Amino acid sequence: MHQTQTMRAVAVSHFGGPEVLEVHEFPVPQPEAGEVLIKVAYAGVNYAELMARRGDYHAQPTPFIPGYEVSGTIAAVGRMWKASTADSQLPR
């Protein structure tokens, strides 16, 4: 399977309203031991992430990618992953 070096994601580049959401390119992260890399098909954004976008909740360095609730396909696995799950679908 061919893996690209970069990925596109909607990110918060600075705090504010919905207009601060912008598409950015990021390096594709490599999964660490016991982790998986998910090619996201769907992402949910909850109220805490809306507050974080405004800078009102757990301020994070910008840019950051909201959407911790995702569903997609496992693209890569880190060391010590017990099953062969590449290309498996995964909700989180």
| Domains located in the chain, CATH noted | 6-91 (3.90.180.10)
- What's the pLDDT score for residue 52? 92
- Convert the pLDDT of each residue in 4-50 to its tens digit: 799 999 999 999 999 999 999 999 999 999 888 999 999 998 999 99
Phi-psi region of 49 (alpha: psi -120 to 50; beta: other; left: phi over 0): alpha
pLDDT at 87 over 70: no
Phi-psi region of 20 (alpha: psi -120 to 50; beta: other; left: phi over 0): alpha
Higher pLDDT, 39 or 60: 39
**Residue 82: pLDDT band by 50, 70, 90 thresholds?**
low
pLDDT at 92 over 80: no
- What's the pLDDT score for residue 84? 57
- What's the pLDDT score for residue 79? 85
- What's the pLDDT score for residue 25? 95
Strand pairing category for 36-44 and 89-91: unpaired
